[in-house]
Chain A
């Protein structure tokens, strides 16, 4: 059964996320979540990791954030540490050096990630050059965070993904026969991967079988696919009830609207690349809210990190000019 089930978030854990965590408004939490997961996906692609590894890293990251404070660490560090950890445990380990390089690039102004459009000029390689000391500092942070994530999850990194189940279900529904059906399969996988980015954390509240069924239902209902599904409540065959299916379908389809709304509400979102803790600070000040730092680790350590991030930012700006 271990290959089909995941540990799920408790009501208490979910409640804590929305009610405490300092005074961080929930739309900022959503923005952080979406941006960080997008970063994880992008890094997975650049590191040539299979999607199964990247997806598991996303889920591990989400579980970690449900237990530990969002603002305790830089978001990109948490993303890098989860990806490094999951890759290491699987069949596709990646070297810390590669992870550092990829993240340095994705966080640099040269990267198109979370920016409106690519600048027409050739990207400047020096903007994502990583000095030896910056590399050492990054590596130290990743290693510390790796241990922190493991501790927070009590060393359970098991993630069952719905992707292969979905393909099996499609086969059971006779949807994989010929090549024209490839369209629906691709759409199903797309729904499952998009759900990883959703701040609703669907992978933490529902088992893989429910996610797979919801993705199939959504894909079949899409106007460009409009596949004919059985008339009967076929989802019950896969142990999903109507209520659960409905909830997930709404959740999976709401991501686009949610991101669009974030773009309107949050100044820096989707404009200047990956969100940092500084961006959140700025936004909080803009909104006239006071930030209560939800950190529980030593502050000395934090200052050092922030200083380094600032110096990196400053250097990036200088290079822009």
Chain B
């Protein structure tokens, strides 16, 4: 009974209700009629008996009978009204529009045999990806096989990173996030060992495009890419998801100029206040300084730092901070963004790895030589653009703009305006036909203990700057 109203939409419901009501009324009317008839019958019987006793009262009786009939006739409509009014008050749902939440159901996974493999795309740290065609529909998809370690499988079961990726992708629906069509398994379902994600096929990844393109993206194209990236990240953060591995090789681009965030192997749901999270996240080159300094509580700003690194990489076609290890990365960060101070990043000294840092004494060195050189490094960027980039690459996570704020940034409103996606240039797709080159980007950290930085001496990194060529009180911006 309850299920009926759940599946039907409200219009049908209303119609059904009305029909039921009508039937009820009809029944009631019939009942009333019957009752009236019975009453008449009874009266008639009584009259008959009376007639036998008093034949002379026959005329009177007939009159009475007529009267009775009239009364019954008159009685009927008011009786109906009386009975029905309270019901209408009770069942007041007729005019109320109730929201219905539909979220589908569940059924066992289909078999991978429903797909025909076309060609391999990539064999990376996260497993094997192939281009395939769904036999039933002819639709081209990307099949990503979940990498399963056999000893791990028997110890701790299926990898939670893979399962989290599936869950998060299933929950997401956004044009800038790669779509998960379904999850299929190998033919033998008695042991589930082969698990494949059926993803929407996207022709390129941003990393390969940047490596191969002879000329950098135009300013308008950069804005389109960044707007889409920020849009996707804003959606994730709004839904309490941290991606935790944003980098150019995880950003896909299709031939219609649409950017899609992919690879959610590191992603997870967070709450507010954030739960205890591992610091072993984000590929080194895109890792935020607070993570490198060993923070235990972090949030959305770590993704925004990665967005900043990607911004820089799109502009120059080179990774912005390609550190060899944690210390080297931190050195490069401080070289680019300046040395943190208690004013610019209150409390950073309390982070676990910050205690072993030896920073150049800020009072001896002028602010210009320890400040950010982002403006100088990207001379072609407008003031608004470099303000956004500097904001994203703020050492203090609290001062980085959120993805939502980024979308509203002045930079995107300035000329040149973002290029329409449909006007985007196209590129020859490697994933489409050829085997993709292996990237030399390091991978996101694996499981295990976070590496402590140890005692690191950063006091020397700005030593050279003082000696740089400089005119008397005037310096040309180095381009």
Q: State whether the Cβ of A314 lies closer than 8 Å to any Cβ in chain B.
A: no
Q: State whether the Cβ of B479 lies closer than 8 Å to any Cβ in chain A.
A: no
- Whether B107 contacts A240 by the Cβ 8 Å rule is no
Q: State whether the Cβ of B101 lies closer than 8 Å to any Cβ in chain A.
A: yes
Give Cα A236–Cα B108 distance, bound, in whole angstroms. 35
**A140-B154, A154-B109, A241-B93 as given contacts; A297 in contact with B190, CB under 8 Å:** yes
Residues of B within 8 A of A206 (CB): 2, 6
Interface range for A: 35 or more
Interface residues of B in 277-297 (CB under 8 A from A): none
- Whether B2 contacts A151 by the Cβ 8 Å rule is no
- Whether A96 contacts B101 by the Cβ 8 Å rule is no
Give Cα A240–Cα B192 distance, bound, in whole angstroms. 40
With an 8 Å Cβ cutoff, the count of chain B residues facing the other chain is: 49
Q: State whether the Cβ of A172 lies closer than 8 Å to any Cβ in chain B.
A: no
Chain A 82-96 near chain B by CB (<8 Å), digits 1 or 0: 001100110101001
Tell me the number of A-to-B contacts counted with CB atoms below 8 Å.
Answer: 129
Stretch of B122-130, B161-169, B389-397 with 4 or more beta carbons under 8 angstroms from chain A: B161-169
Residues of A within 8 A of B171 (CB): 2, 158
**A2-B171, A143-B157, A236-B93 as given contacts; A67 in contact with B106, CB under 8 Å:** yes
- Whether B98 contacts A240 by the Cβ 8 Å rule is yes
Nearest CB of B to A266, in Å? 28
- Closest B residue, CB atoms, query A92: B275
- Whether B191 contacts A157 by the Cβ 8 Å rule is no
Contact of A155 among B96, B109, B189 (CB under 8 A): B109
**A151-B185, A241-B5 as given contacts; A89 in contact with B164, CB under 8 Å:** yes
- Whether B157 contacts A9 by the Cβ 8 Å rule is no
Give Cα A247–Cα B164 distance, bound, in whole angstroms. 35
Chain B 166-207 near chain A by CB (<8 Å), digits 1 or 0: 110011000000000011010001111101000000000000
Residues of A within 8 A of B156 (CB): 88, 96, 143
Give Cα A3–Cα B157 distance, bound, in whole angstroms. 26
Residues of A within 8 A of B192 (CB): 147-148, 150-151
Residues of A within 8 A of B5 (CB): 241, 243-244
- Whether B191 contacts A147 by the Cβ 8 Å rule is yes
Interface residues of B in 224-283 (CB under 8 A from A): 239, 271, 275-276
Give Cα A151–Cα B5 distance, bound, in whole angstroms. 30
Contact of A150 among B7, B100, B158 (CB under 8 A): B158
- Whether B158 contacts A146 by the Cβ 8 Å rule is yes
- Whether A154 contacts B106 by the Cβ 8 Å rule is yes
- Whether A147 contacts B167 by the Cβ 8 Å rule is no
Q: State whether the Cβ of B153 lies closer than 8 Å to any Cβ in chain A.
A: yes
Contact of A7 among B105, B153, B182 (CB under 8 A): B105
Chain B 7-24 near chain A by CB (<8 Å), digits 1 or 0: 100000000000000000
- Whether A147 contacts B157 by the Cβ 8 Å rule is yes
- Closest A residue, CB atoms, query B172: A2
Q: State whether the Cβ of A69 lies closer than 8 Å to any Cβ in chain B.
A: no
- Whether A143 contacts B153 by the Cβ 8 Å rule is yes
Residues of A within 8 A of B106 (CB): 7, 63, 67, 152-154, 156
Q: State whether the Cβ of B25 lies closer than 8 Å to any Cβ in chain A.
A: no
Nearest CB of A to B342, in Å? 32
Contact of B98 among A5, A153, A155, A241 (CB under 8 A): A241
**A11-B3, A89-B163, A239-B100 as given contacts; A146 in contact with B157, CB under 8 Å:** yes
Nearest CB of A to B449, in Å? 17
- Whether B157 contacts A243 by the Cβ 8 Å rule is no
Residues of A within 8 A of B182 (CB): 154
- Closest A residue, CB atoms, query B193: A147
- Whether A67 contacts B107 by the Cβ 8 Å rule is yes
Q: State whether the Cβ of B91 lies closer than 8 Å to any Cβ in chain A.
A: yes
Nearest CB of A to B101, in Å? 4
- Whether B183 contacts A154 by the Cβ 8 Å rule is yes
Q: State whether the Cβ of B476 lies closer than 8 Å to any Cβ in chain A.
A: no
Q: State whether the Cβ of A281 lies closer than 8 Å to any Cβ in chain B.
A: no
**A89-B167, A154-B106 as given contacts; A242 in contact with B93, CB under 8 Å:** yes
Interface centre among A10, A89, A156, A158 (most CB of B within 10 A): A156
Give Cα A144–Cα B157 distance, bound, in whole angstroms. 8
Give Cα A247–Cα B191 distance, bound, in whole angstroms. 40
Supply 18 further A-B pairs (C-beta < 8 A) apart from A11-B7, A150-B163, A207-B103: A6-B103, A7-B106, A11-B3, A89-B164, A89-B167, A91-B271, A96-B156, A96-B157, A147-B157, A147-B191, A147-B192, A151-B109, A154-B106, A156-B167, A239-B99, A241-B98, A243-B2, A298-B190
Please list the residues of chain A having a beta carbon within 8 angstroms of any beta carbon in chain B. Answer: 1-11, 13, 63, 67, 84-85, 88-89, 91, 93, 96, 139-140, 142-144, 146-148, 150-158, 205-207, 209, 233, 236, 239-244, 247, 297-298
Please list the residues of chain B having a beta carbon within 8 angstroms of any beta carbon in chain A. Answer: 1-3, 5-7, 91-93, 96, 98-110, 153-158, 160, 163-164, 166-167, 170-171, 182-183, 185, 189-193, 195, 239, 271, 275-276
What are 10 sample pairs from A and B whose C-beta atoms fall under 8 A apart?
A2-B103, A11-B7, A85-B157, A91-B275, A151-B192, A155-B183, A157-B163, A205-B3, A239-B101, A244-B2
Q: What are the nearest 5 A-B pairs in CB distance?
A: A147-B192, A5-B103, A91-B275, A239-B99, A155-B183
